[in-house]
Amino acid sequence: MHPWNQPILESFRKRLERLPHALLIHGPRGVGKLALAERLAQLMLCESSDRERRPCDHCDACRWFTAENHPDYRRIEPEILWKEPPPDKDKPSRVIKIEQVREGLVDFVNIKSHRAGLRVVVLHPADEMQPVAISALLKNLEEPPPGAVFLLVSHRPALLPATIRSRCVALPVPVPPRDAALKWLAGEGAKGAERWLAYAGGAPLRALNYAAQGETLERLLASPAPTDDRDELEPLAEALQKTALDKALLAFGLPARYQTGAKAPAGQAGRAWLSYARRLGRERLLAQHPLNPRLYSHALLSARPKT
């Protein structure tokens, strides 16, 4: 787990006697929500007699958890996030399917615990579930089986139905303090940490990923152009959107947020760039679909304001 989330873990440890049956762990991408959820799950399953030191990392339960084979723990996520995606599929699914929920929940939470304790399920990201999968989850949240705890990790909780959100205790995970994030990035050997932390909106894990792609992102920011490379579509759309937001901020007399190198536009162009940024926020989702890369990227670039 990342150091900036340690206070959340400490606060949760004090409430082990009053566990909710479902937590909605939400916050921006790249702040360590999944690692926190897994640490919370390990905390619940730890069998150390000293509750103040849980998770102890030494008991049988902790060793099984670390080895990813604890019998009372399940993690449900889209196939594309699996360490080993299904070998028989060219395009692993980006959403959590109903089959995964049925196998991971119905056949798991309704059987007796192997260790006479809790059964813990992590769903990540919870906002990427098929509608029928959401319905299956809702049934378990409406009538939670005894001893079952659900940890829903979400980047965009507003996309979850109110019926799901209302049955969970919200646990927000904020962007960490800038100094803490920079210290962690320095320990990870990230180059240009300050630049990429700004580009990531303060989210350290995203900043680390951006630093690893530094050359590509610098090119997309400096000279965006139509591309035939499908893998560059989403980074290109993101670069255009963040550049547009920086231009809008500069036009309104505010400092740039993402350090994209954008220059203040001429005249009263702030609204035009803000409108373009909003359009890109919608169209970025299309980058994951089987579109013609060159036509798609050309459409994004040609829609830019002329000022």
| Helices 204-212 + 178-187 axis angle, to 10 | 40
> Can you give the pTM of this predicted structure?
0.91
Q: What pLDDT score does 102 carry?
A: 85
How many other CB atoms are there within 10 angstroms of residue 306's CB atom? 6
| Helices 233-251 + 293-302 axis angle, to 10 | 0
Q: Which residue has the tokens 């099984």?
A: 64
Q: What pLDDT score does 131 carry?
A: 92
Write down the domain spans for the chain. Answer: 3-172, 213-302
Are 247 and 273 in contact by the 8 Å Cβ rule? The answer is yes
Q: Which residue has the tokens 């723990």?
A: 73
Q: What pLDDT score does 51 carry?
A: 81
Separation CA 152–CA 156 (nearest Å) = 11
Are 79 and 87 in contact by the 8 Å Cβ rule? The answer is no
Q: Going residue by residue through the chain (307 aa), what tens digit of pLDDT does each one get?
A: 899 999 999 998 888 878 899 999 999 999 999 999 999 999 999 999 888 888 999 999 999 999 999 999 999 999 888 877 776 666 788 899 999 888 877 778 877 778 878 899 999 999 999 999 999 899 889 988 888 999 999 999 999 999 999 999 999 999 999 999 999 999 999 999 999 999 999 999 999 999 999 999 999 999 999 999 988 999 999 999 999 999 999 999 999 999 999 999 887 789 999 999 999 988 888 887 878 999 999 999 999 998 7
Q: What pLDDT score does 297 carry?
A: 94
| 86 alpha-carbon distance from chain centroid | 22
Which CATH topology does 3-172 take?
A: Rossmann fold (3.40.50)
Q: Which residue has the tokens 């579109």?
A: 291
Q: What pLDDT score does 89 carry?
A: 64
